[in-house]
């Protein structure tokens, strides 16, 4: 009887060992995961230098020819992918006492600035007023600099010669640059 018990015990041990081997020999289990990279459009535009721009008439020639100023690296742009920059003025230029200079007298010109190697279309002269496309690009980039010229040649030919009034010489408007994904 003891032999039968020993044999039965041996059988249980061998059987357990074989089950362990079978468990270890099973095919590995697996699970899958889908990985997504989600890219969102991001655009930023910064007026990098000079928040106030002055077109100063201080010579006889200025009144005859108009004035212009170029600000190097004035706009700094970041964009994931293509983008469009529009420019507009909020209103005509006003001096606060009811006199105005039409915003359409002002032209804006954009040119590539420092280290800007992105292929894009920079509009010729854009007349202020309603939003107009100034920069149009099919590709994005980081730290894209643009030189901006504010031109008031329309103020030449003595157009503003009688607008000077003692104490109310500054005519102002707000200019807004807007960037959007393409």
Number of domains in the chain: 1
Q: What is the pLDDT of residue 92?
A: 94
Residue-range definition of the domain harbouring residue 74: 43-181
Beta-carbon contacts of residue 144 (< 8 Å; ≥ 6 apart): 76, 77, 78, 79, 113, 116, 118
Residue 18 lies inside a defined structural domain of this protein: no
Instruction: Give 149: exposed, middle or buried? Use CB within 10 Å, 0-12, 13-18, 19+.
Output: middle
Q: What is the pLDDT of residue 84?
A: 95
Residue 30 lies inside a defined structural domain of this protein: no
Q: What is the pLDDT of residue 9?
A: 57
Residue 107 lies inside a defined structural domain of this protein: yes
Instruction: Give 163: exposed, middle or buried? Use CB within 10 Å, 0-12, 13-18, 19+.
Output: middle
Residue 103 lies inside a defined structural domain of this protein: yes
Q: What is the pLDDT of residue 149?
A: 95
Residue 101 lies inside a defined structural domain of this protein: yes
Residue 33 lies inside a defined structural domain of this protein: no
Here the CATH number for the domain that contains residue 151 is: 2.60.40
Radius of gyration from C-alpha coordinates of the chain: 36
pLDDT means per 10 residues in the chain (182 residues)? 60 59 70 94 91 92 94 96 95 88 94 87 82 93 94 88 80 95 90
Q: What is the pLDDT of residue 133?
A: 94
Q: What is the pLDDT of residue 16?
A: 60
Beta-carbon contacts of residue 155 (< 8 Å; ≥ 6 apart): 55, 57, 63, 66, 67, 101, 105
Residue 3 lies inside a defined structural domain of this protein: no
Residue 163 lies inside a defined structural domain of this protein: yes
Instruction: Give 136: exposed, middle or buried? Use CB within 10 Å, 0-12, 13-18, 19+.
Output: middle
């Amino acid at each position: 009887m003891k032999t039968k018990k020993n044999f039965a015990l041996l059988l249980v041990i061998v059987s357990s060992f074989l089950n362990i081997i079978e468990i270890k020999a099973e095919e590995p289990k697996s699970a899958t995961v889908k990985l997504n990279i989600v890219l969102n459009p991001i655009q930023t535009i910064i007026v990098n230098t000079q928040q106030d721009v002055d077109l100063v008439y201080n010579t006889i020639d200025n009144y005859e020819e108009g004035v212009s100023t170029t600000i190097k690296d004035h706009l700094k742009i970041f964009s994931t992918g293509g983008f469009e920059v529009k420019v507009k003025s909020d209103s005509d230029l006003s001096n606060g006492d009811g006199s105005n200079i039409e915003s359409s007298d002002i032209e804006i010109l954009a040119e590539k600035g420092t280290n800007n190697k992105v292929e894009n279309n920079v509009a010729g002269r854009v007349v202020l007023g309603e939003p107009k496309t100034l920069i149009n690009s099919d590709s994005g980039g980081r730290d894209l600099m643009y030189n901006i010229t504010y031109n008031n040649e329309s103020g030449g030919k003595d157009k503003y010669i009688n607008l000077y009034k003692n104490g109310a010489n500054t005519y102002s408007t707000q200019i807004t640059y807007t960037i959007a994904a393409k």
